[in-house]
Structure 1
Amino acid sequence: MRIRATVAALSGALALSALTVPAAQADGPSFREEAAAFAASHGAPAARSAFGAAAVGDLDVSFSDFKIAKTVKVGTTNKVSTTVTYKIKHGAGVDTKSEDFATGPYIYKGSYDAPVNLLLGDYAATCAATSSTTANCSGKIDIYPAYGELINSDAGTWKGGALALDYVTEKFADEGGLGSTLVQRYSRLTVNASPEPVKKGKTITVTGKLSRANWETGSYSGLPSGQSVALQFRTSGTSTYTNVKGVKTAAGGALKTTVTAATDGYFRFKYAGITSTAPVTAAGDFVDVR
């Protein structure tokens, strides 16, 4: 079932995110579940989204130096995790080593005040103190495409933020707009060169298909026609592929072109990718030229 964070309140956004993934995926309450429970039980003090560009909350914690992978490639079934590192600065009264303190990163799609989707990690980040009021933290974003966390329009740029909770003082700190990443639909590419073997000077037909993850159906579907793909060739006994020609996809991601047989070697297709779709290179298909 698809659940999207379309509400503006902190409690609603966190609660929806927590409900997306079964609790069995984590050993005990996950960070996303704890954050949702905290926000729900404490009424989201600021009454605004947890996922925005400005710091909100009354816990004396601020975030900086947020680092995340440039791209996160997500298929249809396997869990995908990406590590995020960031720094926190906190007041002397905040005990980051306490079991009642938790912090973690998140990414969100859309605006700070009205995110259309958000993703957190199963577990809170771990932090190492660098002084009495600073620490370096590392946490993960965990994505479960098989549980409907994403729809196809979610592909593209997501912004990053971080959240901190203190269960004793009942305070929180949250800040968005700390970084960005591309969440892309994983892609597949096939190639077949025939006939094989083939006489020198004869025509070789190279076919294939370019497809990508469809997060809404849980399967792979062909890309729209007109996608640019490079046909490459590597002579047998060498290690370098060179471009032969550019090829455009037809309906359903189909690829087809012809070349003249010259020498033994491997043909492959290579796709550079687009904002929504990850790049991919097919494994080479050997042709015996006689």
Structure 2
Amino acid sequence: MRMRTSVAVVTGALALSALAVPAAQADGGYGDTAITKVTVNGGKNVVVGTSLVKKFTVTLTAKDDSGIEGAEISLNGPGFGFMNSKASCSGSTCTASFTVDPKTDLMYSNDYAGTWYVEAWVDAKDGDYVWKEKAGSFKFQRASRQTVNASPEPVKKGGTLTVTGWLSRANWDDFKYHGYTVQPVKLQFRKKGSSTYSTVKTVTTNSKGDLKTTVKASVDGYWRYSFAGTSTTPAATAAGDYVDVR
């Protein structure tokens, strides 16, 4: 694995940092330095597709009676995923920038999707410091897509509508989207003139990620599939497909 950071290139599945960051250990420190808050990607999951470069930041807030001197931040995930960056500090807030290029950094790395942890080392101006192995956590996910098609269009009132769709997610082995299998997806309907969708039923994707079910048509409106997401894959909702009932 090769994860590029703002200050170093990390190479290998079990990568070693080019920075002077101590090896993983139990939490520790000296003096009154404390980490009070950690925010990854503005509080949102980090979602990576098959081609676009993903840039995000980790913001850390710390305190010490002498002030904060500097910080170094590492991100560690499943499958030996690893990223490292030296943070830029202003007052009590330190920010580190990270960049992930799927075609450079994630080849054959689907196992990296899941829960990642923020490790942080913070130095105070008076020589105090704190080290936290799990100062924060976030989800590192494979991008997802959801489609829908309701037919026939138009349909007679009381007639049968067949609603199909495909749930897929990024595959970092070949940088294509593959069907996400055996996943529960909600079929939802919004009546014409309304702004609210309601769930009609839950449909499970097949071995190819396909969805298919039938419903009775009663009024004009929009049909969509909505996937709630998993720890490795974000939620995905199709744009509503309008059906005219006559």
Corresponding residue for residue 113 of structure 2: 155
Amino acid at match of 1:274: T
User: Any conservation in 1 of the 2:17–2:84 contact (CA below 8 Å)?
Assistant: no
Question: Any idea what the Cα deviations from partners look like across 1:232-278, whole Å, max 9, x if unmatched?
Answer: 01111111111111111111100000111111111000011111111
Q: Does 2:74 match 1:106?
A: yes
Q: Which residue of 1 aligns with 2:95?
A: 138
Q: Which amino acid aligns with 1:268?
A: R
The answer for unaligned runs of 5 or more in structure 2 is 11-15, 124-128
Is residue 118 of structure 1 aligned with residue 82 of structure 2?
Answer: yes
Would the alpha carbon gap of residues 106 and 141 (structure 1) be closer, same or farther in structure 2, given more than 3 Å must change? Answer: farther
In 2, Cα distance between equivalents of 1:236 and 1:162? 51
The 5 Å alignment of 1:237-248 reads 237-248=193-204
Question: 2: distance between equivalents of 1:109 and 1:95?
Answer: 27
Q: Structure 1, residues 23-71: CA drift from partner, whole Å, max 9, x if none?
A: xxx8xxx3224995454xxxx7x6x34xx54348x9x976442232252
Q: Structure 1 residues 255 and 261, CA, compared in 2 at 3 Å: closer, same or farther?
A: same
Q: Name the residue aligned to 1:262.
A: 218
| Range moving further from structure 2, 264-273 or 155-164 | 155-164
Equivalent-residue separation in structure 2 for 1:89 and 1:280 (angstroms):
39
Asked if the contact 2:62/2:68 (under 8 Å) is kept, the reply is no
Which residue of structure 1 aligns with residue 48 of structure 2? 74
2-structure distance, mates of 1:20, 1:86: 21
3-state SS, counterpart of residue 73 of structure 1: strand
Give the C-alpha shift of residue 127 in structure 1.
1.7
Question: Alignment length, in residue pairs?
Answer: 234
* In 2, Cα distance between equivalents of 1:54 and 1:174: 5
Within 5 Å, which residues of 2 pair with 1:83-102?
83-89=57-63, 96=69
Separation of aligned partners in 2, 1:37 and 1:91: 30
Rounded to whole Å, the distance in 2 between the matches of 1:32 and 1:243 is 48
Structure with the higher fraction of residues in strand conformation: 2
Matched ranges for 1:208-227 at <5 A: 208-224=165-181, 226-227=182-183
TM superposition shift of 1:163 = 4.4
Taking a change above 3 Å as real, the CA distance of residues 36 and 160 of structure 1, as seen in their structure-2 partners, is closer
1:215 to partner: Cα distance: 1.6
2:105 and 2:76 map into 1 onto residues whose CA distance is: 16
In 1, the alpha carbon distance for the partners of 2:131 and 2:64 equals: 13
Q: Structure 1 unaligned runs (5+)?
A: 4-18, 97-101, 130-134, 166-171
Q: Tell me, yes or no, if the aligned pair for 1:156 and 1:275 is still in contact at 8 Å.
A: yes
- Aligned residue for 1:54? 27
The Cα RMSD (Å) is 3.2
